[in-house]
Amino acid sequence: MHKLIRKEYINENLFKIFFDKKDLKFFPGQHFSLSIPNKSINREYSSYTSSNDKELGFLIRRVEGGIMSNLLDKMEVGDELNIYGPYGSFVLKDEYIENKQIIFIASGTGIAPFVSMKETYNLDNYKLFVGIRETRDLADAEKFDESKSYYCISREDNISKNNHYKGRINNQLEKIEYIKDYENSIYMICGNSYMISDVYDILVKEKKINPNNIITESFF
């Protein structure tokens, strides 16, 4: 069992939750299955903290009517849950870290594994595209270089910051040719499956990206 150490709220529906890590080891981008004792429920959550951190953190959206995310929201410091894993191959290969530009594309909490990757490997050769509904859903912008990140905000009209854009990720990706070496980059896409499906079509069908250079992780 792993003890809840602390929680941080970005807004009432988006929060970070940190557990004692014990001897769990993982590659950034892998996910865990969290299971609440006696509630008969488990769900998957991507690693969010660096694999070098002492704590194991997750970035959670509380889903209206969702079962697990609401139980996690109600958990208090000192409460315990079971953590199984790590699982999955949504990870960066060494050759990518050393030789390739990584283009991260996330919707909502899909940014979680990218934070973990950035923090663990101290990445420099990357670009980040994030799709959110409102500015208040922005998580961890300070962890990424402003000149390398693009935030696409779908439900706000007044956009004030340089790297904030109105609309969906798709609109920004239409201009991906401006990114140097975009043809040879590795694309990691994470979050909502509809977004992944749309983005894939833009990258492969319009921008002629080799599908073997696209790695995806679907959350829902």
Ligand X SMILES: Cc1cc2nc3c(=O)[nH]c(=O)nc-3n(C[C@H](O)[C@H](O)[C@H](O)COP(=O)(O)OP(=O)(O)OC[C@H]3O[C@@H](n4cnc5c(N)ncnc54)[C@H](O)[C@@H]3O)c2cc1C
- List residues near ligand X by CB under 6 A: 31, 43-46, 58-61, 63, 66-70, 108-109, 112, 217, 219-220
Residue 2 binding result from another protein, ligand X, none, given CB thresholds of 5 to 8 Å by partner type: none
Residue 35 binding result from ligand X, another protein, none, given CB thresholds of 5 to 8 Å by partner type: another protein
Q: How many residues does the chain have?
A: 220
For Cα atoms 71, 8, 35, give the angle at the middle one, nearest 5 degrees: 30
Shortest distance in whole angstroms from residue 159 CB to another protein: 28
Q: Which is nearer to ligand X, 118 or 176 (CB)?
A: 118
Q: Which is nearer to ligand X, 59 or 176 (CB)?
A: 59
Using Cβ positions, the residue closest to ligand X within the complex turns out to be 66
Rule CB under 8 A: which residues touch another protein?
A: 33, 35, 38-44, 63, 65-68, 82, 84-85, 87-89, 193-194, 196-197, 200-201, 204, 210-212, 214, 216-218, 220
220 Cβ partners below 8 Å, 6+ apart?
A: 192, 193
- Cα separations in angstroms, 81 against 28, 31, 213: 21, 15, 36
Distance in angstroms (rounded) separating the CA atoms of residues 113 and 116? 5
For the chain, the farthest-separated pair of C-alpha atoms sits apart, in whole angstroms, at 52
Shortest distance in whole angstroms from residue 208 CB to another protein: 10
175 Cβ partners below 8 Å, 6+ apart?
A: none
* Tokens linked to 73: 């929201």
Shortest distance in whole angstroms from residue 27 CB to ligand X: 14
Residue 210 binding result from ligand X, another protein, none, given CB thresholds of 5 to 8 Å by partner type: another protein
Q: Report which DSSP code applies to 64.
A: T
